[in-house]
Structure 1
Amino acid sequence: MNKVLIVEASDSDCWLMSGLLSRAGYEPIVVEDMEAAKQEVTKMSPGAVIVSAMKFRGGTAKELINWLKEEGYKFPLLAVVDNLNPTELIDVMCDWGAVNVIQRLAIDKQLVEMVDRYASSENIMFILDNTLIPRKSADFRGIEQSIEKIGATNANVIIFGEIGMGREQVAREIYEHSSRTQKPIIVIEAGGAPHIGKHDPKSDRSETYNRIKGYFTNADGGTIILKNLELLTFDKQSVLLHILETEHPDVRIICTADPHLIQMVTDKEFRANLFYLLRESDIKILPLREVTEDIAGLADFFLTRHAKNNDEPKKHLDASALKALKLHQWPGNIRELRNVIVLAAYHATGDTISDSDITISESSPAPDNSLRLKDPDKDRDRIIEAYRRGGSWTAAAKLLGISERALLEQRKKHGINKKGQVES
């Protein structure tokens, strides 16, 4: 299991990063000062990654990078940045020697993807490519149909969904189904350092305008995939809106976004006119906890890939393992499932994986409360959904967060029989 050294002064961000990395199959090590960081580096083996704040007790990311160079260590270092301007970001990566940067406000969206990119092949995890993993649920069939219909148009698209559900893969599938496949495709992270184009200091335009305009120039006739749209700062929103409204570039924009972007528009935290220009069409991807029927197929896909990568016989899940997987809320969605499955395959001694081989990290964000009984008008549907997901009333009670006796009373109240059906 690859180690990730976190050099960070913020307790809350340390907790967040440790949880994300643990669920992704890494072993996080947290230190707060330069001396402790140096000590841990001497213990690290090939395949490790360093994630460092710009400033921490007793040092800076630049000083740590210089020490690594002096001592001959070649571990990749990702710098966690706050609100540096584009010139400073280039300095961090070019002059300092950081391999890349992570925006602090987007740690939950960028950290694991970045670490995956720079962790070496010693990691037992395999990296998911840009291919959309097939699934059997009705929801996924609807997504496939939408991809074909939307791909045939030139409409801008927003793909809504939680992290780890393959939003970028859906975006690329739309591109592959479009008439623009012979033209450029450019992928931009809305909240991170890659959102840096070229700037001409002699231009009378703002630096932000020149950098964003550069993407449209390079993608002329093609497609821009704008990831994590909700992280686009207000000034960049204004520039992007200006370019789209006044210059009408021949570029299609496919965005990915967290579902709370819609609330941001309502709260006037995201410009409504830009939102509607970008959302000429949309696709909604349900989180894994709402399409548990896909878990078995996805697990089989990951087991097949793991066996192929390691040149070993494929392992299989038994009923107890599958039940354990369906009871979990999967805050990290498909990416988290991949990591749990691969770790189970790695540690299981036989050909069959049981629930005792399944290890799910406890360092997770707050559990989903979508099934909690809190609205009498919707409680009946929540009870039925919990039974469907869990497969038994014992499991349903766990998902609902109540005792089995309390659940029995609720079933009587709402007329739900033992089979999870409403009696007339």
Structure 2
Amino acid sequence: MRDAINDPSISPAERLAALQDYLQGSPSFPPFVTESNNHVHTIYSFSPYTPAAAALRAREAGLMVVGSVDHDSAAGAGEMAEAARLLGMGAVTGFECRVYLNTADEVASGNAPLHERKLNNPDTAGIAYMTVQGIPADKRDLVAEYLMPIREARLRRTGAMVERANVILEGLGAEPIDLDRDIVARSQFLFGGTVTERHLLAAMADKLIGRFGRGQALVDGLAKLGLNLSDKVADQLSDVDNPHLTFDLLGVMKAEFLGQIYIVPERTEDGGECPSMAEVIDVAKSVGAIPCYAYLGDVTASPTGDKKAEKFEDDFLEELFAELRRIGMPAITYMPPRNTAEQMARIAKLADEFGLLEVSGVDINTPRQVFNCEELQRPELSHLNDATWAMVAHEQLANVDLSLGLFAPDGPLAAKPLKERVVAYGALGKGIVDGDLTLDAAVAKLKGQA
């Protein structure tokens, strides 16, 4: 039964039915803690978890709210939201994507001061990660339609990168990668999901394991690639019984090796794989969702092992916030476990100054990661929990009417400061999930606060 919850080969309805059956057995869950996670990846991008299994893991960690942000896909949103409901949790659903910070016209006219800067993307200057969160359920089909050509363009680029990877694999005497068999079939692309660089690296990792074998033979074979292995990672890779071997190896390859096969997404007339940030903001607002810039900040150590120590936005953060405000970005999301207290205090100060909502989350895409974010229990970060509950309410209320959304220009509380709106929506989100408020009652209460 539990295996079925995390079975990517069956339908979302079957996984949800398996979750219902599992809950009928009254499993023991820990008490809820003052934590949430709004940045979970599922099989619809790259992850060891189906949406239902991710929600279950979040509940087993005591989280109040779970949120999915698959790359270029919101195909798992319905399953995630329903699984969270069954588990008595709140949900915030959306997607993550890569965008050009500026439009081609802005670059050509010289009105793009940051387009040559490395932002939050280790691979390419001028390209940034952002999320779109709190998508109303009745707008998911529109989102899927918008993302379809982006997913297709990404698959084509992946095919070109496979050719580069195969040159390396064949030079080592390893079996080459077949795009359809080893990557597309491993993904949920045919069901609205996305093929990512991690799918390619996982396929490559499997080919290397097949070539060199498991245990110390694998570590010795990897030496031929010049990979930089820490003692911890070398121990993991040399463990013949390691159940997470593919994930551990692809994490090392992403940090140390991706640059040898990576192809930068091209900017095309129709937007291609990476539209402009302004375009995605407009799309998000048109469906009543909340677009967010994904702050990374200078990295000193990566908890997932897939990012090297590197400098990102911190040297020009004030300039970046000004540019985000100019483009129309209403929120910024970041990961408390990855940022220092000083970085988070700086973000909070600038978010307040520029009127941006602060959103938190922990990037989950490997089996070794924990879903908890203990930092959210610290008093100085309590506003991040309020923001999460506000987004829970936003997603459900905007599904009733877009004018009820947290950032709706004609919303009942539109005239109030953002902080007051967040507190009001947060209380509604908690009330809806706890069962103290029906959705109709929440609508009435919101309108009554105008």
Fold shared by both chains (TM-score > 0.5)? no
Q: TM-score, normalised by structure 2?
A: 0.28
Higher relative contact order, chain-length normalized (CA < 8 Å, sep 6+): 2
Structure number with bigger Rg = 1
